[in-house]
Amino acid sequence: MKIRWYGHSSFLFTTAAGTRLLVDPCAPETGYRLADIPADAVLCSHGHSDHNYRAAARGTPPVVDGAGVHAFGAARVTAVPTWHDDAGGAKRGHNLVFVIEADGLRAVHLGDLGHVPDAAQAAAIGRPDVLCIPVGGTFTIDAAGAARTVELLRPRLIVPMHYRTERLTFPLDGPEPFLAALTARGVPVRRLASCEFEPAVPVPEGPEALLPACPAE
């Protein structure tokens, strides 16, 4: 499975058979400009424009924006309901966590998760081979909450998202506090020269953090 970061929380997961899943495409006002991305489905964790810019996809592929299990080619997608805040949705509403299973991998995208998952949610999510996790705070869990979530879910590969970059227009924290928390726990951090990567199968036990390069304009 190839995984490409388009910035913010926007990722394209492409299976070996060519099935393409676009997750949480962001609108141009974020500072990232996504357009004409080939996708067989668009997965949106919630309705905010920085995660629900469906026009980023070429054509009109089907959209997953509710809890349940879906199949696209050989890829299985499970949408697990969570919250966008730490008050049961009272502040910012619901959030979906997407569990994508294909090519012997379990990739998890936490969307705009606003709380550390409870035991039932963690069980539904399972242990990720790859975990895309928000770390910038303000609208989601912050570095400390993300570190606790990593300890709970025990992913093999950790990919930070939803944080401040030179392109993002939102007032979020950068990835450094989260990376420092991982380093303090003995987790190595690898900075990539590309915004795309392809995990080995099986994924080494880890954990290891990957920081993809910020996409070019």
Name the band, by pLDDT with cuts 50, 70 and 90, for residue 48. Answer: confident
Name the band, by pLDDT with cuts 50, 70 and 90, for residue 217. Answer: low
Exposure string over 84-112, b if 16+ CB within 10 A, otherwise e: bbeeebeebebbbbbbbbbbebbbbbbbb
Q: Is 8 left (phi over 0), alpha (psi -120 to 50) or beta?
A: left
- Between 84 and 98, name the one with better pLDDT: 98
Q: What is the pLDDT of residues 57-95, one digit of tens each?
A: 999 999 999 999 999 999 999 999 999 988 888 888 899
Mean pLDDT value of segment 170-193 = 96
Q: For the chain, how many residues are written?
A: 217
Nearest to 152 by CA among 82, 71, 88, 68: 82
pLDDT at 7: 94
pLDDT at 58: 96
138 secondary structure, DSSP code: S
Residue 77 is inside which H or E element, if any? strand 75-83
What CATH number does domain 2-211 carry, 3.60.15.10, 3.40.50.620, 3.20.80.10, 3.40.718.10? 3.60.15.10
Distance CA 160, CA 165 (A): 12
pLDDT at 129: 98
Q: Is 120 left (phi over 0), alpha (psi -120 to 50) or beta?
A: alpha
Nearest to 113 by CA among 131, 86, 78: 86
- Between 3 and 48, name the one with better pLDDT: 3
pLDDT at 86: 86
pLDDT at 88: 85
Its pTM stands at 0.96
pLDDT at 87: 84
pLDDT at 106: 98
pLDDT at 118: 96
